[in-house]
Amino acid sequence: MEITDIYNKLKKVFGDGIGELKTDVPVSPFFFADRSKINAVALFLRDEESLQFDNLSCLSGVDYDKDNLAVVYHLFSYALGHSLIVKCLIPKSDPKIQTVSDVWAAADWHEREAFDLVGMVFEGHPDLRRILLPDDWEGHPLRKDYKVPEFYNGMKVPY
C-alpha cells in the first residue's frame, strides 16, 4: 500500500490526531501523530486488515528541536511488505507519551532505551527503568543540553 493511502485511511479515522503528511523531505515521507492518541493509532495500524503493521522495526527517541522531543516509529508489515514512519512530538516541558509496548512487544525495551537516553516518560509502560545506563545515573545523555557530570559515585567522569 502506498504511503498516501495509508495516510488517508488514518486521517479518516483519527482526524486531528494525525498531522499533515510530509512528502518533500529527504529521504522518506512521514507524518506526525498526536502523542495522546499514539496507542490507539498503533493498535489501528496493527489490526486493520489492509495495513497489518505487525512489526515495529525501530523506535527512536530524538531530541527533536528547541522545545520538543520526538519519538520516531519505523513500522513494517511482514504480511503485506510495506513500511511507514510515524513521529510524535513531545514538549520538553511535559515529556510524556503513551506507550505502545502493549501493541508491539518490541517496543518494551526500545521505550526503556528512549527513556534512558532521551528522557521521555512512556505512560502505561509495565516496567520503565533505565536499561543501558546504571540505575542511579543522572540526566539523559542524548538530550542536546546534556552536560556530562563531573563525578559519578565519587569517580571522576571525564578523563
Partner 1 sequence: MSELRTEELTINMGPQHPSTHGVLRLVLTLNGEIVTDVKPVLGYLHRCFEKHCEAMTYPQVVPYTDRMDYLNSMNNELAYVLAAEKLLGIQVPERVEYIRVIMCELQRIASHLVAIGTYGNDAGAFTPFLYCFMDREKVLELFEMVCGARLLYNYIWVGGLSHDITPEFVTKTKEFIKYFRPRIKQINNLLSYNKIFIERTAGIGVLPQDVAVNAGVSGPTLRGSGVKFDLRKDDKYSIYDRFDFDVCVGWGERGVVGDCWNRYIVRAYEMEQSLRIIEQAIDNIPEGDVQSAVPKRVKPVVGESYVRTESPKGELAYYIISDGSLNPYRIKARSPSFCNLSVINQISRGHMIADVVMILGSFDIVLGCIDR
| Binding residues vs partner 1 (CB under 8 A) | 25-28, 54-58, 60, 62-63, 72, 74, 76, 78, 81, 85, 104-106, 108-110, 113, 117, 130-134, 141-142
Report the DSSP beta bridge partners of residue 70: 62, 89
Query: Cα separations (Å) of 131 from 68, 117, 153?
Result: 23, 9, 18
Instruction: Provide the minimum distance between the beta carbon of 62 and partner 1 in the complex, in angstroms, as a whole number.
Output: 5
Residue 17 Cα to chain centre, angstroms: 15
Cβ of residue 71: shortest distance to partner 1, in angstroms?
A: 11
The minimum distance between CB 149 and partner 1, in angstroms, equals: 13
Q: Smallest distance, Å, CB 15 to partner 1?
A: 26
Taking alpha carbons only, the member of 29, 28, 85, 75 closest to residue 52 is 75
Q: Which is nearer to partner 1, 128 or 133 (CB)?
A: 133
- When the beta carbons of 21 and 62 are compared against partner 1, the nearer one is 62
State which H helix or E strand residue 112 sits in: helix 107-117
Complex with partner 1: residue 10 or 59, whichever CB lies closer: 59
Query: Which residue number, 121 or 142, has a Cβ lying nearer to partner 1?
Result: 142
**Minimum distance from residue 9 beta carbon to partner 1 (Å):** 22
Output the nine-digit C-alpha cell for 119: 528522557
For residue 27, cis peptide bond before it (omega within 30 degrees of 0): yes
34 or 108, CB closer to partner 1? 108
Q: How far apart are CA 35 and CA 2, in angstroms?
A: 24
Secondary structure (DSSP) of 47-76: H-TTT---EEEEEEEE--SSSEEEEEEEEE
